[in-house]
Chain A
Amino acid sequence: MKKYFQIIINIIMALITLCALVPFLLLVITSISSNDSIIRLGYSLIPKDFTLEAYAYIWKEKMQIFNAYGITVCVTAIGTIIAIIMTLLYAYVLAKPSFPGKSFFSFYIFFTMLFNGGLVPTYIMYTNYLHIKNTILALIIPGLLLNAFNVILVRTYIQNNVPASLTEAAKIDGAGEFKIFARVVLPMAKPIIATVGLFIGVAYWNDWQNGLYYITDNRLYSTQQLLNNMMKNIQYLSSNSASAISSSAIANIPQATVRMAIAVIGILPILLIYPFVQKYFVKGIALGAVKG
């Protein structure tokens, strides 16, 4: 009886898991199929043939993808580091029980979770007053550097895991706040830094909205924005294909497969890193749930 129960729930879960996985399989399989077979037979989970022509095409054309990749890597690295430092500093101060002005500064950041000015004023401020349109800063600064949720997460962690007696002892030994922060708090906060850093890193890697709002110069396209714009070109082509100009014109470049190959290249780093860091994500999500 118990054995059957285990088998049944495993089958159900395996099916659900498969549902999550199938779109990714379709993406990868398409990217290694020949363009002809896709045009003739459509996207399929069973590879009709195997070819790396889509990837060869990307390599040969030295397509923008490499430049875009460089932009994404830079933005992710710089943005994540700055964001982690700002989040930790803010959270560390809020975790001090005796800090005067603590309730003001808590409310100050917390209120951003309740109310915001919306896209229009933000956009106008960043473009017309701070002039970050079409600069790399536009991919790093707006919206991503500091959010209240992460600050609360880190503050709670420091409160619960870094004993006040330890920082007090360091203070008696004559260490200043910056030294205590760097020597005592940082090492003890490593797990939460890993978790929050991963969340921020993935947010930067996946960000396409800042590109959509602020970048029109294609030398500054991130991978996400490049993918986004390629999709728009497809729309353009397919909306014309009804009027019968195009199927041969589109077929000149291996459209159907190159598109998917670029998408594969775009998510590859996440797919590769993810299995190794997924426990930090799971921990982080569960942690956030304790104090939503």
Chain B
Amino acid sequence: MAAFKKKLIKYMPLYIMLLPGFLYILVNNYIPMAGIIIAFKNLDFRKGILKSDWAGFSNFEFLFKSPDAFRITRNTILYNLVFILATMIFSVLVAILLSEIRSKKCIKLYQTVILLPFMISYVIVSYLAYAFLSSETGFLNGILKSLGLHTVSWYTEPKYWPAILIFINVWKGLGYSAIIYLASILGIDQELYEAAAIDGTGKLKQIIYITLPLIKPTIITMLLLQVGRIFYSDFGLFYQVPLNSGALMDVTNTIDTYVFRGLMTLGDISMSSAAGVYQSIVGFILVMLANWFTRKYSSENALF
């Protein structure tokens, strides 16, 4: 007991240092985790959360019987899969191109500019997209008009939106992942390339047989990290960029936008919280699975 006390006194300053962060995480993260019981209640604010009547799984029953459940799950997962693949392919490509460029000034210029979209919020992105897509004054319709083609009412035509959202996602995330892959490529031993060049191996073959295999661990780690988050959509992208257009809902509603609308605009807390818990739990299982795979494949890259 005395030894414990001595230890406590010795480490007291360190515990005090931890305290602000500890309390913040407790309030900001752990209390809401306990709050998932809301999804199992008929929430009545007059009674408070704990005293509200239990609803069992009925909120989930309503959710999964509605056509929304399938739609938001499908949109969230399919978009994420395409986002992950498209961003990976383009950013590896850009990273390889950057690594081949000789002029340091040019590399810095390109890198700086392609990271720029990463720095701005989705509110700004929605303005940029609007300048292109507005039906009366938009840049794209201007081009269509000058080519003598029919203009498109972009914000009411769902068929174009998967392509638009994929483009914007790649546009915004390309610079970030390209930098990660570039760092990985720059870590490759230059002698490998010199030896290959002496053997008369062309650039393309060097890329296929040296660069790609050596950055494979980075690619896999990035993939698994993103696959672990596949049940979470980018709220800003899906909420801001389509300007909340009802006509586009079928192709732009994801779990996150559904939870938000249920809570803030429809006031349907039971459905909204059920969808939120569905996301938290499936999301958790997916992160654990992704990490389990990473640990099997390359343990040093696993999260834990």
**Chain A residues at the B interface, C-beta cutoff of 8 Å:** 5-6, 9-10, 12-14, 16-17, 19-21, 23-24, 26-27, 30, 38-39, 41-45, 85-87, 89-90, 92-93, 96, 99-100, 105, 108-110, 112-125, 128, 130, 141-143, 145-146, 151, 176-178, 181, 202, 206-209, 212-213, 224, 227-228, 231-232, 234-235, 238, 241, 256, 259-260, 263, 266-267, 270-271, 274-275, 278, 281-282, 285-286, 288-290, 292
Contact = CB atoms under 8 A, between A and B. Distances in A.
B211 interface: no
Contact of B14 (A96, A256, A285): A96
A26 B131 contact: yes
B252 interface: no
A90 B38 contact: no
B18 A121 contact: no
A24 B127 CA distance: 10
Contacts of B136: 42, 238, 241
Contacts of A13: 94, 97-98, 101, 106, 110
B123 A141 contact: no
Contacts of B134: 42-43, 238
B25 A108 contact: yes
A263 B138 contact: no
Contacts of A122: 28, 32, 35
A89 B18 contact: yes
A281 B17 CA distance: 27
Contacts of A181: 17
A281 B180 CA distance: 11
Interface string B146-176: 0000000000000000000000000100111
Nearest to A89: B17
Interface stretch (B78-86, B188-196, B277-285): B277-285
Given A92-B17, A289-B183, A124 B235 contact: no
A267 B128 CA distance: 12
A271 B119 CA distance: 9
Contacts, number: 273
Contact of B280 (A38, A100, A115): A115
A6 B102 contact: yes
Interface of B: 7, 11, 13-14, 17-18, 20-22, 24-25, 27-29, 31-36, 38-39, 45, 49, 94, 97-98, 100-103, 106, 109-117, 119-124, 126-132, 134-139, 141-142, 145, 171, 174-176, 179-180, 182-184, 203, 218, 221-222, 225, 235-236, 240, 243-245, 256, 259-260, 263-264, 269, 272-273, 276-277, 279-280, 283-284, 287-288, 301, 303-304
A282 B13 CA distance: 35
A105 B22 contact: yes
A14 B113 CA distance: 10
A55 B116 CA distance: 24
Pairs A-B, 4 closest by C-beta atoms: A121-B35, A117-B32, A118-B276, A206-B121
Contacts of A231: 123, 126-127, 130, 240, 243
Contact of A20 (B100, B102, B113, B137): B113
Given A20-B114, A42-B136, A86-B20, A124 B171 contact: no
A117 B36 contact: yes
Contacts of A20: 113-114, 116-117, 171, 174-175
A112 B28 CA distance: 10
B21 A125 contact: no
A42 B137 CA distance: 4
Contacts of B45: 128
Nearest to A209: B235
Nearest to B96: A9
Contact of A115 (B113, B132, B141, B284): B284
**Does more than half of chain B's interface fall in helix, strand or loop, or is it mixed?**
helix
Given A38-B137, A228-B240, A109 B171 contact: no
B180 to A, nearest CB: 4
B198 to A, nearest CB: 15
A117 B102 contact: no
Given A30-B131, A118-B259, A17 B109 contact: yes
Given A20-B114, A42-B141, 8 more contacts: A5-B203, A17-B114, A43-B132, A99-B11, A141-B28, A212-B264, A278-B112, A292-B225
Nearest to A225: B123
A94 B192 CA distance: 39
Nearest to A26: B131
Contact of B259 (A43, A114, A120, A271): A120
21 contacts: A9-B101, A16-B174, A20-B116, A23-B132, A42-B145, A43-B134, A90-B22, A99-B11, A110-B304, A117-B34, A117-B280, A118-B277, A121-B35, A124-B35, A125-B27, A146-B25, A151-B21, A206-B119, A208-B123, A231-B123, A275-B112
A30 B303 CA distance: 46
Given A13-B94, A231-B127, A267-B124, A119 B18 contact: no
A143 B280 CA distance: 16
Contact of A26 (B115, B139, B263): B139
B180 A208 contact: no
Contact of B263 (A23, A116, A119, A256): A119
A110 B30 CA distance: 12
Contacts of B222: 289, 292
